[in-house]
Amino acid sequence: MQERLQKILAHAGIASRRHAEEIIQSGRVTVNGAVVRELGVRADAACDVIAVDGARLPPAAPRRTIVVHKPRGIVSTLDDPEGRPTVRTLLGGIKSRLYPVGRLDVNTTGLLLLTNDGGLAAALLHPRRGVPRVYHAKVRGAPGEQALTRVRRGVHLEDGKTLPAEVRVFEQRPTKTWLEITVREGRSRLVRRLCEAVGHPVEKLARVRFGPLTLGKLSPGSWRDLTPGECGTLQRAAGLSAGAAAAAARPRRAPGTSRSPTWDATPSPRATGTRGSGGRARRGACCGGRRAGRSPR
């Protein structure tokens, strides 16, 4: 699969995406022996010979997706400039570089996906897919039918009107209410802002489902690989066809025998709808790796 060169370098652990762009522009990268300086060049890590400062990149890691039960106080990024603990601290035993699929704010707990499959991540987050995210929110007070109807119809926020959401009350207390809210867009702190806008601020928030996936019995701070069945279900939820998965799994040409990298003059987006990989993984894991793990205490 052809991807932008800076993305390939980042996935190989050479540098961050931004630093990888600087490396390319400085003329330190070659593809099949030719120096590349333009940021629009695409290459295939499985077929092309890519080198940085004369050293060839290691083979691409197998596709892998895991689910993490994020506890409160953990930042959903791999690095944090403020020095707060990040999701990386939970990934004991994982050597491959995985990236969060979207984010949960530092005080939100629950289901977080991490993957090295950029096509899958982009498809899951694409607004057109409308992949549902289900949250349990404890809010102040007792939302009436008028407030719930506003959430269901869409609420005007500072960054525009929200898409219609699903909401139901599943536990009522004297001064608090537990709501189940399903949204199909990935705006920052969306559920918290929705509840604030209708007069019932969130006190606790947990994501309990992403698309077809749930946490099950996974304890806070733990992670596990997706099963092959879960991988297939997730790909279908993301709109990735079985044909696309099969194409991604076909044998590739030997390194160094592919066609030259191609130039793409379109602007570089943060996420593109490239297709994810498929094929069978071994029983109990998705694209390699052990079945489950727990962060070191």
CA angle 244, 40, 268 (to 5 degrees): 75
Which DSSP state fits 29? E
- Cβ burial of 79 (10 Å; 0-12, 13-18, 19+) is exposed
Long-range contacts from 29-32, C-beta under 8 angstroms, 24+ separation: 29/5, 30/54, 31/5, 31/260, 31/261, 32/256, 32/258, 32/260, 32/261
Which DSSP state fits 73? T
Strand 65-70 relative to strand 41-44, pairing: unpaired
> Tokens representing 195?
């509840």
> Tokens representing 179?
């709501």
105 is catalytic: yes
> Tokens representing 122?
């982009």
Given the residues 44, 80, 105, 225, select the one marked as catalytic. Answer: 105
Which DSSP state fits 260? P
- Please check whether residue 129 is in contact with residue 186, taking contact to mean a CB–CB distance below 8 angstroms: no
Q: Which residues are known catalytic residues?
A: 105
